[in-house]
């Protein structure tokens, strides 16, 4: 691997780990915007899953007090049901379409959250709707490690608070991503090249997660939210731009 490729690999790992430590999600959203410059989805997705699981695991102990299993269980059941379908879809993902789709998603998702300024407490569908959102998140988690965005948008609609929301979806993301990684290992999608890339990237992921967790404790609710959305949006711009030129 030449110097520029290694620098981009490390930059993606640092960015993904930082956002994960800061917000409890977002490793895939940040790293895919960088790593898909370097490698096809067949390598990038399992690598993202490994880094996501490690990054989430490193900050998980500090969030135990925020977990509310009465809220999370429908998402967990739906997410675990959706992971196998997402994993199956990996082999059929066209690299260019996949990159463009992820890029557009990175543009739409942060803007939607940013514009959702008024607090809401929308209770439509109850636990069944929560499970359906978890199922969709599980599909995206198995396909691209993107288990977080849909449930987090849904949490904003539900009106859950900052710490409660982070605790709930950190556990959801961790569970779905572990399941997706296990399925990919069992399917033979995690080969020696992925493992080698993971060994190179994990120090950046762990350092980024540690830094993100420290910044999370220092920032106000509004500042940390806007910082994450800005980083995600910039990543989406870069990915879409690279795909159109």
Domain ranges of the chain: 3-244
- For residues 187 and 91, the answer to whether their CB atoms sit within 8 Å is no
Could you report how far apart the first and last alpha carbons of the chain are, in Å?
24
Kindly report which listed range (12-16, 82-86, 88-92, 194-198) carries the lowest average pLDDT score. Answer: 88-92
Residue 120: is its pLDDT beyond 60? no
Output the average pLDDT for the chain: 81
CA pseudo-torsion sign 146, 233, 159, 124: negative
Tell me what pLDDT residue 195 has: 92
Give dist(CA 147, CA 87) in Å, integer: 12
DSSP line for 210-235: HHHHHHHHHS-HHHHHHHHHHHHHHH
Encode pLDDT of 21-60 as tens digits: 887 777 877 888 788 888 888 888 889 889 989 998 888 8
Give dist(CA 219, CA 205) in Å, integer: 21
Give the count of beta carbons closer than 10 Å to the beta carbon of residue 243.
18
Task: Supply 148's token pair.
Answer: 């977080």
CA neighbor of 44 nearest in space, from 33, 54, 36, 55: 36
Residue 135, Ramachandran bin (φ over 0: left; ψ between -120 and 50: alpha; else beta): alpha
Give the count of beta carbons closer than 10 Å to the beta carbon of residue 126.
9
| Lookup result for tokens 């950046």 | 204
Tell me what pLDDT residue 217 has: 80
Tell me what pLDDT residue 201 has: 93
The pTM assigned to this predicted structure is 0.76
DSSP line for 152-166: HHHHHHHT--HHHHH
Tell me what pLDDT residue 206 has: 94
Give dist(CA 192, CA 198) in Å, integer: 10
Give dist(CA 158, CA 152) in Å, integer: 10
Encode pLDDT of 171-183 as tens digits: 888 888 888 888 8
Instruction: Give the phi and the psi of residue 88 in degrees, each rounded to 5.
Output: -65, -35
Give dist(CA 48, CA 20) in Å, integer: 12
% of the chain at pLDDT higher than 70:
90
Task: Supply 185's token pair.
Answer: 């290992």
- For residues 146 and 86, the answer to whether their CB atoms sit within 8 Å is no
The pLDDT-based confidence of 95 (bands split at 50, 70, 90) is: low
């Amino acid at each position: 691997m030449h110097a520029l490729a290694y620098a981009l690999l490390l930059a993606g790992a640092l960015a993904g780990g930082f956002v994960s430590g800061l917000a409890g999600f977002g490793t895939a959203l940040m790293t895919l915007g960088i790593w898909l410059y370097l490698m096809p989805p067949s390598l990038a997705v399992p690598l993202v899953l490994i880094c996501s699981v490690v990054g989430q695991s490193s900050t998980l102990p500090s969030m135990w007090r925020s977990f509310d299993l009465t809220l999370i269980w429908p998402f967990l059941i739906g997410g675990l049901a959706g992971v196998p379908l997402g994993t199956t879809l990996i082999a059929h993902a066209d690299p260019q379409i996949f990159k463009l789709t992820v890029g557009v998603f990175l543009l739409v998702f942060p803007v939607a959250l940013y514009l959702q300024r008024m607090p809401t407490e929308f209770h439509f569908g109850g636990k069944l709707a929560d499970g359906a959102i978890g199922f969709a998140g599980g599909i995206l988690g198995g396909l691209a490690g993107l288990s977080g965005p849909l449930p987090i948008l849904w949490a904003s609609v539900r009106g859950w608070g900052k710490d409660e929301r982070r605790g709930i979806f950190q556990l959801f993301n961790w569970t779905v991503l572990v399941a997706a990684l296990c399925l990919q290992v069992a399917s033979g999608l995690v080969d020696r090249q992925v493992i080698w890339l993971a060994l190179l990237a994990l120090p950046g992921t762990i350092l980024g997660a540690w830094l993100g967790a420290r910044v999370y404790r220092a920032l106000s609710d509004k500042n940390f939210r806007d910082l994450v959305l800005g980083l995600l949006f910039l990543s989406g711009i870069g990915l879409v731009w690279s795909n159109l030129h």
